[in-house]
Amino acid sequence: MPLMLNRSEVASVLTMRDCIEAVEKAFAELANGTAAQPRRLGIPAPDGLSLYMPAFLTQADALPCKVVTVFKENPKRFKLPTILGTVLLQSPQTGEVLCIMDGVHLTAVRTGTTSRSNFAPISSASLRAASSETS
């Protein structure tokens, strides 16, 4: 049986520092060609859309798949959010699902760290130099 983590459990174990490190390693794997990240697959449903975002990270030995659904009638009809997210973590050796976790907190933290990682190489000195060149 896979480990199940709800939103608060994910928030209690996922630190910003850990997420920054994981995102930077994932970007490095993408740059080095050791990651497989196919295009997002969208599957329409009668009342919404399911999006599947799989990846394989060779060096991290990770096989995750993020599933996001967008169903605009959820709040009114089912008292659920319009957008739901879940992350599956599978064994790269067997394909067994090891963990099913709520994706809301994970996505929010990952989005923040992605922004930070994109700008981390830009130092204050380089910003000042660029600013003085345009003045």
**Segments making up each domain of the chain, as ranges:** 3-110
The pLDDT, as a whole number, for residue 126 is 45
Task: Work out the pLDDT band at 129, boundaries 50, 70, 90.
Answer: low
| 25, 66, 72, 76: the active-site residue | 66
- CA-nearest of 33, 24, 106 to 65 is 106
Q: Is 66 a catalytic residue?
A: yes
Q: Under CATH, which architecture does the 3-110 domain have?
A: 2-Layer Sandwich (3.30)
Residue pLDDT, tens place only, 30-48:
999 999 999 999 999 999 9
- Is the pLDDT at 132 greater than 90? The verdict is no
pLDDT > 70? residue 131: no
- What is residue 59's three-state secondary structure? coil
CB 40 within 8 A of CB 51: yes
CB 103 within 8 A of CB 68: yes
The closest of 24, 30, 31, 32 to 56, measured between CA atoms, is: 30
| pLDDT over 70, % of the chain | 83
**Per residue in 97-126, pLDDT tens?**
999 999 988 888 877 676 554 545 444 444
Q: Flag whether pLDDT at 4 surpasses 90.
A: yes
